[in-house]
Amino acid sequence: MPELPEVESVARALRAALTGRRLTGMRVRHAVCLEPSAGAVRRAVLGRRLDRVHRRGKYLILTFGQDDPAPAHLMLHLRMTGQVLFEPVDRPDRHVHLVLDFDGREVRYRDVRKFGRWTLVDDAENPSALDHVGPDMLEIRFAAWADRLRRRRAPFKSVLLDQGVAAGVGNIYADEALFRARVHPLRRPADCDEAELRRVYDAVRGVLRLAVEHGGTTFLDFRDFHGQPGNFRRKLRVFQRDGEPCRDCGGELERIVVGGRGTHFCPVCQR
């Protein structure tokens, strides 16, 4: 599943290639990916200039006609297997559901499982569709983040994954951050002192930034905009390494299930 770093890679690619260009064509092959309907999306954005690409957590918001009286905001959520491809595909690909033509530059939306959505929303910064989603993890300041955590009694791993607290932290990066912060995944934020919270905050942001630099993590379905897998996987220290030695202490890494999610950690380094 694409996480914040992968979505940020897509945001940067879209910004670099398309901002300032007009959407001159739109071919829809699978209308279910467009909300509220293909017709409504077409009427709102076709013929207009893409002025801005904003990311909040794992959501991208494309703003068309920013200086017009009524700009249009189209939100993209890639969900499980959504991909944005800039390269033409060699042969007919039944998983390409949408082709957007920006004045001669084509972008394809491919989605094997068809859970991804392009949705018209009412605002770029704070669309009501994202009322349940907290501030972006790379944007929120420590004091505000700590305030949201101080009384939480759920395991730290679950709190990091709670998108209402802060948006964009998924399973891989939560495990990696807790290892780097030396905090056990079952430890509760309410029991942590300021220094521990600070370590986790810095670690989460550090891991996310590192992954952004490396174009995300290679896993099943994510490919970046050129169809290349991300290469952050080589930097993973605990994720899916259970049974292997910890790179810091040599002890055996373990896997437990926390809140229904596979969780990887070092029982020696993380207490």
Residue 256 binds to Zn ion (criterion: CB under 5 A):
no
With CB under 5 A as the rule, give the number of residues binding Zn ion. 7
Q: Does 249 sit near Zn ion (CB under 5 A)?
A: yes
Spatial separation of the C-alpha atoms in residues 97 and 27, rounded to whole Å:
8
268 near Zn ion, rule: CB under 5 A: yes
Closest CB to Zn ion among 58 and 264? 264
Binding range to Zn ion, per CB under 5 A, among 139-147, 199-207, 240-248, 256-264: 240-248
Given CA atoms 36, 40, 42, 48 in this order, what sign does their dihedral have?
negative
By beta-carbon proximity to Zn ion, the closer residue of 124 and 174 is 174
| The only residue of 43, 248, 259, 262 in contact with Zn ion, by rule CB under 5 A | 248
With binding defined as CB under 5 A, does residue 252 bind Zn ion? no
- The answer to whether 121 touches 152, Cβ cutoff 8 Å, is no
- In the complex with Zn ion, the residue whose CB is nearer, 59 or 156, is 156
The sign of the torsion formed by the CA atoms of 116, 120, 125, 128 equals negative
From 8-16, 47-55, 71-79, 241-249, span contacting Zn ion (CB under 5 A): 241-249
Does residue 157 have an active-site annotation? no
Q: Which of 28, 204, 208, 266 binds Zn ion (CB under 5 A)?
A: 266
Q: Do 57 and 29 touch, CB atoms closer than 8 A? A: no
Residue 8: active-site member: no
Among residues 15, 48, 237, 261, which one is catalytic?
A: 261
Check binding of 269 to Zn ion (CB under 5 A).
yes
Name the segment binding Zn ion (CB under 5 A); options: 55-63, 71-79, 196-204, 263-271: 263-271
State the burial class of residue 128 (Cβ atoms within 10 Å of its Cβ: 0-12, 13-18, 19+).
exposed
Retrieve residue 14's tokens.
């879209």
Give me the least distance between CB of 3 and Zn ion, in Å please: 24
Which of 246, 254, 258, 265 is the binder for Zn ion (CB under 5 A)? 246
Which of 49, 55, 56, 58 is labelled catalytic? 58
**Binding-site string for Zn ion from residue 193 to residue 232, where x marks contact by CB under 5 A and - marks none:** ----------------------------------------
- Sheet containing 59-64: give its strands across: 34-35, 117-121, 72-77, 59-64, 50-56
Residue 243 contacts Zn ion per CB under 5 A? no
191 makes contact with Zn ion (CB under 5 A): no
Active site residue 58: yes
Contact present, 12 and 54 (Cβ < 8 Å): no
Nearest to 72 by CA among 113, 125, 116, 123: 123
Name the residues annotated as catalytic: 2-3, 58, 261
Binding site for Zn ion (CB under 5 A): 246, 248-249, 251, 266, 268-269
